[in-house]
Amino acid sequence: MKVLLLAGTVEARQLAEQAHELRRVELVASFAGHTRAPRALPCETRTGGFGGADGLARYLREGSFDVIVDATHPFAAQMQRHAVDGACLAGIEHARLVRPPWTATNDDHWVDATDVVDGARIVGEFGVPRVLLTVGRLDLAAFAGLEPTEFVVRSVEDPDPVPFAAIATLRARGPFTLDEESALIDRYGVGLLVTKNSGGNDAKLAAARANGIPVVMVRRPAPVTEHNFADARDACSWLASLAS
C-alpha cells in the first residue's frame, strides 16, 4: 500500500518512524520546502508544491498512491483543503494527523481570535506597549500599522523582511523552557503574547500565566475530514489496518 505523507511537523516525523516498521506500507513524505534543513526521515522524500488540488490528484494517480495522510501544521489551511480535494479527485483514502490544540486553564487570560487579522485587531484594542508575536514569519503583515505598539518577533526561520519596525527579531526553534520564556518576557517588558493555537510545547503559555500576561490565541482552521488522529500511533494503526 502506497502512502503519501504530507510532512514538516513532529507528528509527521513520528508517523514516518513508526510506519517504517510496517510491512506492506511504502511511504513517501512530502515537504513544502520552506524549512531550510528539515530533519531526515526514514523513507523516500520529495519537496515542493504539487500545483493545487488538481496537481496533487495527478501526482497521486501517477504515483499509484492508495492513501494520503496530511500531517502538516494545524495552520497550513490551504494544504489541508488541497489534500482533501486531491484525495477525493484521485479516489483514495485521506486522513489528518494533527496534535491537539491547547486549552485555557482557569488561571489563563486568553482572548480568542478567529484568524491573524482578527488577532491584529485585538492587539490594537489592547494598546499594550510591548507585544511578543509568535505567529510565524509568513503571517506578520497583519500586524503592520499598529504603532505605537512595539513588537518582539520570534520565528523559526528569518522573516524577510519584517513589515514593521520590530524592537527585536529573534530566530529560534523550540522547545523552550518556562524559565527561558519568562526571561524573554522580563527582558523585553512584554505585556501581551500573540500565538496561533498550534498545540505542543506550552512553555510560552505557562510563562504568560505565571507573569499574569494576557494571550491573543488565534483559533485553528476547522477540521475537514472524517479520519482525524491526534497521535501518530493511532494513525499508524489505521495504516496497518488498511494494509492488512
- Would you count residue 3 as binding ligand NAP (CB under 6 A)? no
Q: Which of residues 45-64 bind ligand NAP (CB under 6 A)?
A: 49-52, 55-56
Contacts with ligand NAP by CB under 6 A: the residue count is 25
Residues 25, 41, 67, 76: which binds ligand NAP (CB under 6 A)? 76
In whole angstroms, what separates CA 184 from the centre of its chain? 22
- Would you count residue 31 as binding ligand NAP (CB under 6 A)? yes
Cβ 38 to ligand NAP shortest distance, Å: 10
Stretch that binds ligand NAP, among 29-37, 90-98, 124-132, 177-185 (CB under 6 A): 29-37
Cα separation, 200 vs 57, whole angstroms: 31
All cell numbers assigned to 48: 515542493
Q: Which helix (H) or strand (E) holds 240?
A: helix 232-243
Q: Which residue is nearest to ligand NAP (CB)?
A: 49
Cβ 72 to ligand NAP shortest distance, Å: 3
- Would you count residue 101 as binding ligand NAP (CB under 6 A)? no
- Would you count residue 77 as binding ligand NAP (CB under 6 A)? yes
Cβ 152 to ligand NAP shortest distance, Å: 18
- In one-letter notation, the amino acid at residue 37 is A
CB closer to ligand NAP, 118 vs 211: 118
- Would you count residue 14 as binding ligand NAP (CB under 6 A)? no
Closest CA to 100 of 200, 14, 28: 200
* Contacts of residue 176, Cβ cutoff 8 Å, sequence gap at least 6: 201, 203, 204
- Would you count residue 119 as binding ligand NAP (CB under 6 A)? no
Residues lying near ligand NAP in the complex (CB under 6 A) are found at 6-9, 30-32, 34, 49-52, 55-56, 72-73, 75-79, 82, 136, 138, 196
